């Protein structure tokens, strides 16, 4: 049984947390996030700590207990430090660029792929083969990075495609390796 939900979350300096009618509002230097928690759990702020508790001990209540605590922790870290995912393009002629609120990718297809950048995210291209996604919402950062990666996943024979920085792609032997 997980005991993550019982562990209190400490509120770091520069971050304010308020709970009203099931809404958790967290504000910090990187932005403002809010979350409406489930009625199975209750959230209380006291003495610089956020405490999450559950009323019942059934399976769903236990699951939402740990989930709510983890989400509150991620929100506090996000508004204080922010989250970042880095992607790299590998392949001859693969380039990326930012044009307004759009990410444009040329990754070996007949036409250029265009991905709209959601609000609340900061997407930069430090060079033509790297994309940095930053934001205070962990879910938005991860989701956008995954969507960009899914446009051209790394293929297993040459390793060409869009991958996370540091991701290892296991290459298969080709036809001639018999």
* pLDDT tens sequence across 102-146: 999 999 888 999 999 999 999 999 999 999 999 999 999 999 999
Same fold, 4-80 and 83-164: yes
Higher pLDDT pick, 151 / 174: 151
Residue 1 has pLDDT above 70, yes or no: no
Q: Per-residue pLDDT averaged across 19-24, rounded?
A: 92
Domains in the chain: boundaries:
4-80, 83-164
Res 94: pLDDT: 94
Superfamily designation of domain 83-164 = Ribosomal protein L6 (3.90.930.12)
4-80 classified as CATH 3.90.930.12: yes
Q: In the 3-class helix/strand/coil scheme, how is the chain assigned residue by residue?
A: CCCHHHCCEECCCCCEEEEECCEEEEEECCEEEEEECCCCEEEEEECCEEEEEECCCCHHHHHHHHHHHHHHHHHHHHHHCCEEEEEEEECCCCEEEEECCEEEEECCCCCCEEEECCCCEEEECCCCCEEEEEECCHHHHHHHHHHHHHCCCCCCCCCCEEEECCCCCCCCCCCCCC
pTM of the model: 0.90
Q: Per-residue pLDDT averaged across 153-161, rounded?
A: 93
Res 174: pLDDT: 83
């Amino acid at each position: 049984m997980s005991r993550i939900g019982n562990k209190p979350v400490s509120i770091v300096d520069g971050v304010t947390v308020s709970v009203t009618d099931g809404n958790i509002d967290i504000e910090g230097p990187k932005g403002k996030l809010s979350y409406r928690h489930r009625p199975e759990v209750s959230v209380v702020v006291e003495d610089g700590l956020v405490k999450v508790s559950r009323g019942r001990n059934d399976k769903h209540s236990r699951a939402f207990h740990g989930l709510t605590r983890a989400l509150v922790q991620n929100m506090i870290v996000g508004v204080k430090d922010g989250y970042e995912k880095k992607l790299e393009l590998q392949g001859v002629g693969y380039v990326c660029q930012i044009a307004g609120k759009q990410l444009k990718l040329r990754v070996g297809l007949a036409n250029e792929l265009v991905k709209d950048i959601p609000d609340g995210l900061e997407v930069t291209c430090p060079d033509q083969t790297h994309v940095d996604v930053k934001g205070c919402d962990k879910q938005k950062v991860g989701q956008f990075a995954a969507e960009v990666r899914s446009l051209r996943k790394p293929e297993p024979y040459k390793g060409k495609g869009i991958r996370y920085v540091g991701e290892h792609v296991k290459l298969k032997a080709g036809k001639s390796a018999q």
